[in-house]
Structure 1
Amino acid sequence: MRSASTRARPSTPPSRSTRAGRPAPSDPPPDPAIHVLTGRIGRLAAPGLPVRTTPAAAPARVVTVLPTFRKRTVMIDRLCGAALLAGCLLVAFAPSARAQAARAEEQPERLFLLGAGAYAASNPYESAKDKTGTGMLPLFFYQDSRLTADLNGLAVKAYGTDRFTLEGRIAPRFQLVDPKETRNFAFLERDVGVDVGGRASAAFGPAMVSLEYLADVSGETKGQEVNLDVTLAAAPTERLTLEAMAGLSWKDKKLATWLYGLKADEVGAARAYEFGRTRGAPSGGVVVPSLGAQARYRIGERAYVIAAAEVELFDDGITKSPLVAKKSAAAGFVGLVRRF
């Protein structure tokens, strides 16, 4: 439930080459490192819309952190097991370091894609008018040696090597499903916000790890968050790329209240649920784990079909809020983009 703030990685299969090692004239260009999942279902546009440009998170990391919660649901256990299984399969299919280096060399200096897709996102709010929200969103992606722009926002590379990247970030924050789509809380105002921060990304073989910090500068949420994401990527075939993702997102009390709570000036002191202020509400912010998967398939030389799914898990500190009725929020996305 956050805006799609957002998560260029060498995870695409190289084009066929001639014996001399040069791409054949008729071969398609190498697949772009496009990533639909944001890793945070509410960050800039629900789960997975925007094209992502940096690594997401590894399932193994989530397994080591989840036990810190007092109560782990059966759903969490199953999701962790599924994530570990997906990770093992991806490692088995993962390309060699030499192949990854070859792909990085083939990556074009400038990349531009346009497309559109359809999303479906569950509504986790109390008194939801519909269990699932659906809609269409445009997709765009631009990347050169220093700049990346997409629905996740803007990323400017400050430093980069083959294995490490440091970027400055500007990210919009809005929700595909918000309280206006409920019967009891339609009066709540959740406008678009703007976050500014930075992101550090590192590659470890088939895995990519990123650590991101974002803080609101628009005055909408007045909050901040830290996102730790890991992604395992593999290319089983020349046209197909798979990714398994996992992440942890810490949100401070102001952002948590904007996302999951009710302010006193909105509903009155008796019904308010403000993180860090209301009795029984977490005082140190909240930690939200997420798991996701994505598949990207190239059609012809320049078109790509992208399918993605992601789920966020809410602990008791979040579900105690009168605004939140479910222990999780899930979303899926299918889209088509063309490379220009």
Structure 2
Amino acid sequence: MSIRFSPRTPLTCAALLMLPLLAHGQQSATTEPVADSGSSSQWALGAGVGVERSPYAGYGNRTRALPLLMYNGPRFRLLGTTADLKLGAVGPVGFSLRAQYADEGYEGSDAPILNGMEKRKGGFWLGGAALWRNPYADLSLEWLADASGNSHGQTVKLRAEHRFKSGRFTLVPYLGVNWMSSDYVDYYFGVRSNEVRAGRAFYQGSSTANLVGGLRTDWQMTSSQSLFLDLRVTRFGSGITDSPLVDRSSAAGVRAGYLYHF
């Protein structure tokens, strides 16, 4: 599967997507803050673990375990490594400024195909997000740019999900498209001239898009305790699969954790 965009696509896509959202929201033209928790604040502490198949040849699975801190208030929201400053809402559409840390890099010793490659670092990302809640599917749009200057890349993520609730269980199937700029793809999946060797040709990454689908479930054990499980599959775009560092077209992942709500 090949999905390609021109360099101007992220801004154009974002503008086209936001126009119908704003037009819909201007019918009621409210400026209330995005506040899932109303005027009160909610806290939660817990722990989570994630296992995901790496696209790099011979890398195997990436496993991460970390403590979880969640806060949701009228103006600010924090979940793990993502923080949002809520700007307000226009009708059913909420807007926020977003800061995020993403550990997406690798070391040359992580896999044989990466031996001799220069280290690729994770980074801090800054941008904005919008969420349109409606009876059919919640639509979210996110644009982020690499503020740490490692990749100089940009990403745009569009996702649709629908929530089904039955007793203490909540099921949320979702489907999305994650676009990555050529700078992003080149930094994480490109091969520089000084990194070329037998079996690893020079490669300059191009912008691409991944398809992501999955199912998230939450179990409210008690009024203050919950468990979550997130299963997902990512279909990589051609800008990634064409890289000599990559040996698969898709990868599955699972995340699970526990939260105690205050």
TM-score by length of 2: 0.79
Within 5 Å, which residues of 2 pair with 1:172-211?
172-175=101-104, 180-186=109-115, 187-211=117-141
2:160 corresponds to: 230
Q: CA deviation at 1:200?
A: 1.3
The equivalent position to 2:51 in structure 1, one of 107, 120, 123, is 120
Per the alignment, in what secondary structure is the counterpart of residue 181 of structure 1?
Answer: coil
User: Is it true that 1:329 corresponds to 2:259 in the alignment?
Assistant: no
Per the alignment, in what secondary structure is the counterpart of residue 256 of structure 1?
Answer: helix
User: Is it true that 1:247 corresponds to 2:176 in the alignment?
Assistant: yes
Q: Larger % of strand: which?
A: 2
Q: Is the 8 A contact 1:226 1:251 kept in 2?
A: yes
Q: Tell me, which stretches of 5 or more residues in structure 1 are unaligned?
A: 1-65, 71-103, 276-281
C-alpha spacing 1:210/1:321, structure 2 compared with 1 (3 Å): same
Q: Distance in 1 between matches of 2:155 and 2:95?
A: 18
1:213 corresponds to: 143
The equivalent position to 1:167 in structure 2, one of 93, 96, 118, is 96
Per the alignment, in what secondary structure is the counterpart of residue 184 of structure 1?
Answer: helix
C-alpha spacing 1:163/1:197, structure 2 compared with 1 (3 Å): same
Q: Is the 8 A contact 2:106 2:120 kept in 1?
A: no
2:18 corresponds to: none
Q: CA deviation at 1:261?
A: 2.2
Per the alignment, in what secondary structure is the counterpart of residue 197 of structure 1?
Answer: strand
RMSD over aligned Cα, in angstroms? 2.5
Q: Deviations over 1:83-138 (max 9, x none)?
A: xxxxxxxxxxxxxxxxxxxxx9975610111111222211221232xx32334221
Q: Distance in 2 between matches of 1:330 and 1:261?
A: 22
Q: Is the 8 A contact 2:173 2:215 kept in 1?
A: yes
Aligned residues: 229
Q: Distance in 2 between matches of 1:215 and 1:203?
A: 25
Q: CA deviation at 1:334?
A: 1.5
Q: Distance in 2 between matches of 1:288 and 1:122?
A: 15
Q: Distance in 1 between matches of 2:37 and 2:78?
A: 21
User: Is it true that 1:148 corresponds to 2:77 in the alignment?
Assistant: yes
Per the alignment, in what secondary structure is the counterpart of residue 258 of structure 1?
Answer: helix
1:287 corresponds to: 209
Q: Which amino acid aligns with 2:249?
A: K
Q: Distance in 1 between matches of 2:147 and 2:36?
A: 37
Q: Is the 8 A contact 1:121 1:177 kept in 2?
A: no
C-alpha spacing 1:180/1:158, structure 2 compared with 1 (3 Å): farther
Q: CA deviation at 1:318?
A: 2.1
Q: CA deviation at 1:184?
A: 2.7
C-alpha spacing 1:211/1:178, structure 2 compared with 1 (3 Å): farther
Q: Is the 8 A contact 1:235 1:241 kept in 2?
A: yes
Q: Distance in 2 between matches of 1:176 and 1:139?
A: 21
Q: Distance in 2 between matches of 1:221 and 1:147?
A: 28
